Amino acid sequence: MTDQPIISIRDLRKTYQAGEVDVHALRGVNLDVQRGEFVSIVGPSGSGKSTLFHIVGGLTPPTAGSIQLAGHDLLGLTDAQRTELRKTTVGFVFQKYNLLPTLTARDNIEIARHIAHKNGPPDPQFEEVLKLLGLTGRLDHKPRALSGGEQQRVAIARAIVNHPAILLADEPTGNLDTENSTAVLGLLRDLNQRLGQTILMITHNPEAAAYGHRIVRMRDGRIEDN
Amino acid sequence: MINKLVIENLKHRPLRTLLSIFAISIQVTMVLTLVGVSTGMLDEQARRARGIGADIIIRPPNSSAISNNGNMPAAIIPKIVDVEPHVAATAGVLIYPTGFLSYVTGVDLPQFNKLNGGFRYVQGGPFQGPDDVLVDTYYADQHKYHVGETVTEANRPWKLTGIYEPGMLARQVVPLATLQDLTSNRGNVSTIYVKLDDPARISEVIKHLEGKLPDYKVHAMQEYTELFSVNSVPMLREFTVVVIALGVLVGFLVVFLSMYTAVLERTREIGVLKALGASPGYILDILLRETLLLATAGALLGILLSYATQFTVNQVIHGSLIQAIVYVWWPITAGIALVGAALGAIYPGLKAARQDAIEALAYD
């Protein structure tokens, strides 16, 4: 880990318009995440953790404050620049896996490379990652032929294939049984330890949160315990 | 990679894909069949006109190039035409329409035979009486007519005395005098065919005849048969444009519904692609490639189906209609299919491209 945080958030605010009502989803969030850190974010529904996830992932712009992500100031980015950021700097893992159902596991990973304009063969290190994820024999299957745990492992492979600066995981074990949850969390920890992958994970589950180096608790759009 | 995704997406919903392709193919077949029948019929008319063996054709004043409207006095044949130098033979015929693309032609056989030696009969022979009719083999096959039978044409019975080889004048021929009486056209004919003793004199004779018959349409047969084109048939060009417009509309609606459904169904997948960093252009590209593939497959199927309609038309009703395969219209109809499909894909494509990633990812 270095002293320069890979994520630096100061007084981050996000206000949604829900009909005629302003919804203040984030009310001044401050957070630093160091390179190579595995941070778990916990909090009840409506605490703002998903909104924070979406802003850090470049899926929506913040309303105010500052957020630096791997040297990018997200507040001033255009839609096209945030699209470019998602291509190169962040990788997503979702609760519902979100694999493309018509493509095989291999092609689900490959399309992430294609979108990032990486059309050559994957680097040898990624082959090692696939072995680590236990996917080598399952790559030619479509999602419907894979178990939940396998689908989530494919989603993790897809998320890191372009070597993102940060991996964002939103309830990655939310749809998995205990055995598969443990396996997926173990893989995330392995990726963090072996590859130095920075991970920001949202979870409701205290046991899952314990896999992180530290736990950040959110409530009412603020971080209450860091 | 996009192509693989496009193909897998289309394979994922085979029924929708096949229905879309089929619907697009129908519009292509529709246009190709219309153009094919128009061309086939006009080519056949030109072929039959050439088969008469005349060098010059005279049509009444105010008649259009190839329609059978208007009559003129048969008396001009002996008084004006026959006396023209180099005229070797003449024959006036009366054409009477009996239905859509169907007509009976009244002929004076002795006159007509001088032009070309007459019909070549495969069954029976020339008229024996005023109520006799001759038909060509196409017409006889289609209606299962045999010599000696009584057939009904122009709302009256006729005795079929001969079946002749096609390719000359008309499909149904009756005595000229009978048809003149039947249609209150005694002394009138619709067309006069002229054969010269020296074909090199055609221009010279036409010039003389035009001088004697002002306002009449006097054409060299070669020039006349070249007029048998879609552009010469009143309203056919406009009708074709209407059918093409309908084709574009059908393609638009089919692809619009297909792609709109696909976009709704794939909302979450579009969100995933956006989360992976896919730009709006990338999403639009996927949809447009799917559309292009559907339209291309539809156009190819439509071309194949036009062979099926040609087979049906030419085998079942070849006495009434003839359909040609008009290759030059293949790229045109493919273009029509592509334009209709592309128009239909615009809104669903833009909807997909503008999809909010967070809302799309939350879509169930």
Complex prediction ipTM: 0.88
Q: Report angle CA A18, B356, A26 to the nearest 5 degrees.
A: 45
Q: Do B8 and A102 touch (CB under 8 A)?
A: yes
Concatenating the DSSP letter of every residue in B215-271 gives TSEEEEHHHHHHT-SGGGSTTHHHHHHHHHHHHHHHHHHHHHHHHHHHHHHTHHHHH
Q: Do B5 and A54 touch (CB under 8 A)?
A: no
Cβ–Cβ under 8 Å, residues B206 and B220: yes
Task: List pLDDT tens digits, range A49-99.
Answer: 889 999 998 888 889 999 988 888 888 888 888 888 888 889 999 988 889
Question: Among residues of chain A, what percentage have pLDDT more than 70?
Answer: 98
* Mutation to test the B interface, candidates A100, A104, A119, A175, most B Cβ within 10 Å: A100
Task: Write out chain A residues lying below 8 Å of B275, CB-based.
Answer: 57, 59, 86, 92, 94, 98
Task: List pLDDT tens digits, range B57-86.
Answer: 998 887 765 666 678 888 888 888 777 888
What would the two tokens of residue A185 be?
A: 């969390």
For chain B, residues with pLDDT lower than 50 are: none
Q: What pLDDT is stored for residue A1 in this prediction?
A: 46
- CB neighbour class for B103 (10 Å; exposed up to 12, middle 13-18, buried from 19): middle
On whether any CB of chain A is under 8 Å from the CB of B265, the answer is: no
In the sheet with A198-203, reading across from the earlier edge strand, the strands are A90-93, A166-170, A198-203, A38-42, A214-219, A222-225
Q: Do A102 and B361 touch (CB under 8 A)?
A: no
Which range of A30-44, A76-90, A180-194, B66-80 scores highest in mean pLDDT? It is A30-44
Cβ–Cβ under 8 Å, residues A39 and A33: yes
- CB neighbour class for A182 (10 Å; exposed up to 12, middle 13-18, buried from 19): middle
Shortest CA distance from B283: residue in chain A: A115
Residue A187 to residue B282: CA distance in whole angstroms:
31
**Per-residue confidence band for A122, with pLDDT thresholds at 50, 70 and 90:** confident
Q: What pLDDT is stored for residue A52 in this prediction?
A: 92
Residue B274 to residue A82: CA distance in whole angstroms:
10
pTM: 0.77
Q: Which residue among A59, A80, A116 sits closest to B275, beta carbon to beta carbon? A: A59
Cβ–Cβ under 8 Å, residues B148 and B160: yes
Cβ–Cβ under 8 Å, residues B133 and B173: yes
Q: What pLDDT is stored for residue B65 in this prediction?
A: 59
Task: Write out chain B residues lying below 8 Å of A116, CB-based.
Answer: 277
Residue A13 to residue A65: CA distance in whole angstroms:
6
What's the rounded mean pLDDT across residues A116-131?
78
Q: Which residues contact B268 (CB under 8 A, 6 or more apart)?
A: A98, B360, B361, B363, B364
Strand positions, DSSP E, chain B: 56-59, 72-73, 87-99, 102-107, 121-124, 132-136, 150-153, 156-164, 172-175, 188-189, 191-196, 217-220
Largest CA distance in chain B: 93
**Per-residue confidence band for A31, with pLDDT thresholds at 50, 70 and 90:** very high
Q: What pLDDT is stored for residue B304 in this prediction?
A: 96
Question: Among residues of chain A, what percentage have pLDDT more than 90?
Answer: 32
Evaluated on CA atoms B305, B308, B312, B318, the torsion sign reads positive
Q: Do B275 and A92 touch (CB under 8 A)?
A: yes
Task: List pLDDT tens digits, range B269-286.
Answer: 888 898 899 998 998 999
pLDDT at A165 over 90: no
Task: Write out chain B residues lying below 8 Å of A158, CB-based.
Answer: 276
pLDDT at A136 over 90: no
Shortest CA distance from B271: residue in chain A: A98
Reduced to 3 states (helix: H, G, I; strand: E, B; else coil), residue B32 is: helix
